[in-house]
Amino acid sequence: MTQEELSQAIDSYNQYLQKMAEATGHFCEDLVESNYQEISGVLPAIVEGLAWINEALEKFVKLNYIANEDGIAFREFIGKLYKALENKDYVLLHDLCEFELGPLLDSIYISEAPIN
């Protein structure tokens, strides 16, 4: 991968993180309003998006652009999110998305320089 391709991949990844933050914000609003029809339409896209982020995150960890512990924290978050979904615990789902996901997405945002 050339430096230009890497830079483009980082830009795309960072933009996707921002879009995910916005989407989960709307999702949380729907949870608060108990708008379950809207939730059922958005939830698959959020789950798919988080899976994509996780896949990209693993690659950026290997390239030393993201700390391994941030990758671990993201995977642990995904586990908690899936458990909340399995249990249909919408309060926990809301709290995870509202209070944990934003800071987590911030922690895996990539600056241009690799970490040492």
The mean predicted confidence, pLDDT, of the chain is 90
Which pLDDT belongs to residue 115?
67
Q: Which domains does the chain have, with CATH numbers?
A: 3-107 (1.20.120)
pLDDT digits (tens, 9 = 90+) for 3-42: 899 999 999 999 999 999 998 888 888 888 877 777 777 8
Report the distance separating Cα 41 and Cα 72, nearest Å.
28
Give the pLDDT band (50/70/90) at residue 88.
confident
Q: What is the DSSP letter of 101?
A: I
Name residue, tokens 């909340």: 84
Give 24-28 contacts, CB < 8 A, sequence gap 24+. 24/97, 24/101, 24/102, 27/97, 28/94, 28/97, 28/98
